[in-house]
Amino acid sequence: MAAAALAFLLGVDPIHAAPINVPNASFESPGSPQSTSTNVNLVPGWVFNVKGGSQFGVGSIAANYASPGTSSGSEYVTINNDWPNVTDTITSASSLGTITPLTTYTLTVAIGNENKSDSSLYGAPGPVSFSLLANGVSFATKTVPNGSVANGTFQDFTLSYTTPSSGSVIGDNLEIQLATLPEQGTAFQPAFDNVRLDAEVEVPAVVPEPSTWALLDSGLLTLWWMMRRQRALQTA
């Protein structure tokens, strides 16, 4: 109570933080490793957009990684990035809510590097990115260069973006997109897992009325007196 009152007196805006549900965030469905080059809806809750007939689907963490690292569950999602100058994506299949003003969205994704030689075919994740979308258009992106993840494990990467008080994205549908970026001389196979999205909404500070100031002053003085009296009793 005292901390809240002091924050109010100092004009500190309170923050309401809450996780946003991401369907099939750890890619546990389908329940066993599967791959395809045609079924864009293979993974419930997500839609693939892959060019050139590349394979995509889900894989087993235990079978392909020495350590689960920051992954979750038993499976991950992957795309074979083996076409030059091509960006392949996997996007949340439906809106995760509407974008609100003065909100810090924090997107965290575990990116994996399979337990094989990074110089071998599909042995490294290559460059990847993940983005926040407003009505299907990216408004914030995090790029992770190849070589950022230790071999045989998963590592978390985070993107944070605070929306303005007004603007074109406010009220738009919020989505997530994961992407394999164009290859760099060889074919890559990135893995994504454990997708988490949080929102912290700033609540505008309210300027107290004079009567409210008086009440707060009285309450703080009473609290100070009680704390001083308790301290005196403890030392008596």
CATH number at 106 reads 2.60.120.260
In this predicted structure, the answer to whether residue 12 has a pLDDT above a threshold of 60 is: no
Is the pLDDT reported for residue 224 higher than 70? no
| Within-domain flag for 210 | no
Full domain range(s) for residue 156: 15-202
Q: In the chain, how many domains are there?
A: 1
For residues 160-172, average pLDDT = 96
Distance in Å from the first CA to the final CA of the chain = 27
pLDDT at 203: 72
Q: Please compute the mean of the pLDDT values over residues 145-151 and round it to a whole number.
A: 96
- Output the pLDDT for position 184: 75
Q: 83 pLDDT band (50/70/90 cuts)? A: confident
Flag whether 165 is in a domain.
yes
Q: Which residues is 103 bridged to in the sheet?
A: 201
CA distances to 6, 79, 155, 166 from 93, rounded to whole Å, are 44, 17, 24, 26
What mean pLDDT do residues 26-43 have?
97
DSSP class of 72:
-
What's the pTM value of the predicted model, to 2 decimals?
A: 0.81
Who has greater pLDDT, 83 or 232? 83
152 part of a folded domain = yes
Domain contains 5: no
**Distance (Å, whole) CA 65 – CA 116:** 9
Domain-located, residue 119 = yes
Mention every residue, 6+ apart, whose C-beta is less than 8 A from residue 123: 114, 116, 117, 189
- Residue 38 counted as domain residue: yes
In this structure, is residue 133 part of a structural domain? yes
Residue 64 lies in a domain: yes
Give 126's DSSP letter: -
Radius of gyration of the chain (CA): 24
Contact 104, 16 (CB under 8 A): no
